[in-house]
Amino acid sequence: MMRGRLAPRARVLPMWLALLAVAAPPAAAQGIIMGTMSGWTFSFSGNVNAFIVYTDPKCSDGAPACDFAGNLIPTGTDQKVLRVRTGLAPAFAIFEVKGKEGGLDVGAHFGIAPEIQSLDQLHDTCGTPSGQCGAQIDLREAYLTVGGTWGQLLAGRAIGLYQQQNLLTDMTVFGVGLSGGGAGFTGNGTTLGHIGTGYSYPNFNAQVTFSTPANRPWRWSIGLFDPSVINAENGAVPVGQCCFRVTRSPRLETEVVYTKHTGAAGSADKFMFYASGLFANVKNIASGDLCAPYFGDPAGCKDAVTPWGLAGGLEWNKSGVQFDLSGFYQEGVGTAFMFTDGLGVDYAGDRRTSYGYLMQLQWMPRDSKWKFGASYGDTDLERSGDDVDNENDFLMKYNTATVGAVTYLWTRSFRSVFEYTYGDSQAYDGTKITSSQGALGVMLFF
């Protein structure tokens, strides 16, 4: 189930390093930086993490297994397992070059994000259909930047703008959150964190994005994105469901961030407000086997759909206490994974509405290496009129997750994390699934 990947967007420095600087009073690790005679600089930075995760899912009726569309907690005796795996953030190797030519600041960025666990829990995956040995490798970022006093242009593959900050302010970036399943295929990839229980995953996409200068309190970004199809991931369409796979215009995403530092120079004290939006248009050519028919009638599916969404949040950090609150409201986008989770549109091609929020509180006592955090996130899905008319009750009503975490900072670069997560999912037909999950891990940043 878990397809999501986390990697921060970097424009000046890798953003996850900026987040680390906020998370811990000691200075963040800066990686390796080398200069050249021509004035160019090369940097290498990243992280490696590993978590021991134990998951215990349960069906409310006592059955050994249960499921419904949109559920984020796989059940069954094979899902009550212990894994040694990557957390929400994969391991990361970031290579970056920067220079100045003709009055322009230019650069290129590559981010490679492997996980540590093998595919499908196989000891040796060299003989699998994937043809890949060992852990899964994800080339998540590859982009160039050109900038000046006027702002910056980014072109390439990077994280999306819509709900980017909702994700990056989630404290489970440095942990696990919901695992998304522990056994077999559902144990591949990263964990979920609060993806699907507080925000939708923005994903990494090909884009051309303009941003205003980063050295000002307000920063605005707007980008044209390689458009996504709906309900047609890898050519597969849910049975009896409409799909939209004709893209004739790019997807538009935008974001605005306001940051005000309120403490002494170098402190983490600040107030931040952010908002983002998304608009897309995708068409359906309804040509028989290309898109599944609407109850046997290909013409029953809408000709086009226009997904849209709004998201935002705030963060307040003062004297070691940090409070975050974020939320979103969207139509035609889905819940956990935008456009591809089969929940964005109904069987007639009409948009479904989803919304959610995430709130969290973190505290790090003065002159202490201990940090404590708690978060609660919720994502809800509203049934469409077509769902109600056709009694489509085998559909998620909500997914929630409650997370408690204790972190010990051994050094500025090395930390250990203990985390407990309680997940709760319910369908419109009354099916309910809960999960208790414990995780203990280590993370090294450089």
pLDDT at 236 over 60: no
Quote the CA–CA distance of 299 and 434 in Å, as a whole number.
40
Lowest mean pLDDT among 35-39, 45-49, 76-80, 211-215: 35-39
Instruction: Express each pLDDT in 393-405 by its tens digit.
Output: 889 999 999 999 9
Q: Please check whether residue 2 lies inside any domain of the structure.
A: no
At residue 21 the predicted structure's pLDDT band, cuts being 50, 70 and 90, is: very low
pTM of the model: 0.88
Q: Please check whether residue 3 lies inside any domain of the structure.
A: no
pLDDT at 17 over 50: no
Lowest mean pLDDT among 119-123, 251-255, 273-277, 363-367: 119-123
Quote the CA–CA distance of 193 and 439 in Å, as a whole number.
12
- Whether 419 contacts 404, CB under 8 Å: yes
Lowest mean pLDDT among 49-53, 265-269, 345-349: 265-269
Within 10 angstroms of residue 264's Cβ, the number of other Cβ atoms is 7
**pLDDT for 130:** 57
Instruction: Express each pLDDT in 304-314 by its tens digit.
Output: 999 999 999 99
Q: Please check whether residue 29 lies inside any domain of the structure.
A: yes
Helices (H) and strands (E) in the chain, counts: 3, 20
Tokens of 254: 């935008």
Q: Please check whether residue 359 lies inside any domain of the structure.
A: yes
Q: Please check whether residue 9 lies inside any domain of the structure.
A: no
Q: Domain count of the chain?
A: 1
pLDDT, mean of residues 404-424: 97
Q: Please check whether residue 5 lies inside any domain of the structure.
A: no
pLDDT at 246 over 80: yes
Q: What CATH number does residue 91 fall under?
A: 2.40.160.10
**pLDDT for 208:** 98
At residue 10 the predicted structure's pLDDT band, cuts being 50, 70 and 90, is: very low
Instruction: Express each pLDDT in 89-103 by its tens digit.
Output: 999 999 999 999 989
Q: Name the average pLDDT for the chain.
A: 85
Q: Please check whether residue 8 lies inside any domain of the structure.
A: no
Residue 246 phi, psi (nearest 5): -100, 115
Residue 393 or residue 5, greater confidence: 393
Q: What is the domain extent for residue 356?
A: 15-125+135-445
